[in-house]
Amino acid sequence: MDEVARAAGVSRQGLYLQFANKEELFRKTLENSLNNQLNAAVAALARQDGLEVRIIAACDAWSGRFVGSLGSDAADLMCASTSLAGTTLTHYEAEFELALARAIADSPLNDFCTTAGLSPADLARTLHATARGLKQSSATREEFVKGMTVAARMFCTPLKQRR
């Protein structure tokens, strides 16, 4: 808490006036970070680029920006985030999938989903699961983006073949 207070330019006592304890500070910080990630992903999905480019950018904003940048304590931090803020994390993950599903539903890929007996939510969940897996297995952000490009292209290829 001393280091956080120093970085924020406040006293430790001042920090405790804002946050009751370390856990509350962690939860608020996590919520702020997830909110920023979600806003960046939603903004990427709202761009005027093709769906494939928007999906890659959204997944990169949501998951890719952390690939290769976390230190050796990242596993401990992820365990703590799940136990301290599991419902918050679950909420933002669901919002991310909903944003992906909306982008898919508003695109010509929706027709392909219907024909294949799938829903936009099915594709969104699969893309999100792919992003989570790539986040864990990629050594660099570039490697993550390359993997997401493969996944997005697999979904978006039916659009290109219909033209």
pLDDT value, residue 77: 57
pLDDT value, residue 72: 46
**How far lies 160's CA from each of 32, 63, 103, 119, 131, in Å?**
38, 26, 17, 19, 23
**What pLDDT band is residue 76 in, cutting at 50, 70 and 90?**
low
In the predicted model, what is the mean pLDDT of the chain?
86
Region 33-38 average pLDDT: 93
**What pLDDT band is residue 17 in, cutting at 50, 70 and 90?**
confident
Over 90: is that where the pLDDT of 127 sits?
Answer: yes
Tell me the pLDDT tens digit for each residue of 154-163.
888 866 655 5
Q: Are 82 and 89 in contact (CB under 8 A)?
A: yes
Over 90: is that where the pLDDT of 66 sits?
Answer: no
Region 76-103 average pLDDT: 81
**What pLDDT band is residue 100 in, cutting at 50, 70 and 90?**
very high
Of 28-37, 49-58, 71-80, 106-115, where does the model show the most confidence? Answer: 49-58
Instruction: Give Dmax (Cα) for the chain.
Output: 63
Q: Is the dihedral angle over the CA atoms 15, 19, 23, 27 positive or is it negative?
A: negative
pLDDT value, residue 159: 61
Region 84-96 average pLDDT: 86
**Out of 11-25, 46-60, 116-130, least confident range:** 11-25
Q: Are 156 and 112 in contact (CB under 8 A)?
A: no
Instruction: Report the C-alpha gap between 55 and 35 in whole angstroms.
Output: 18
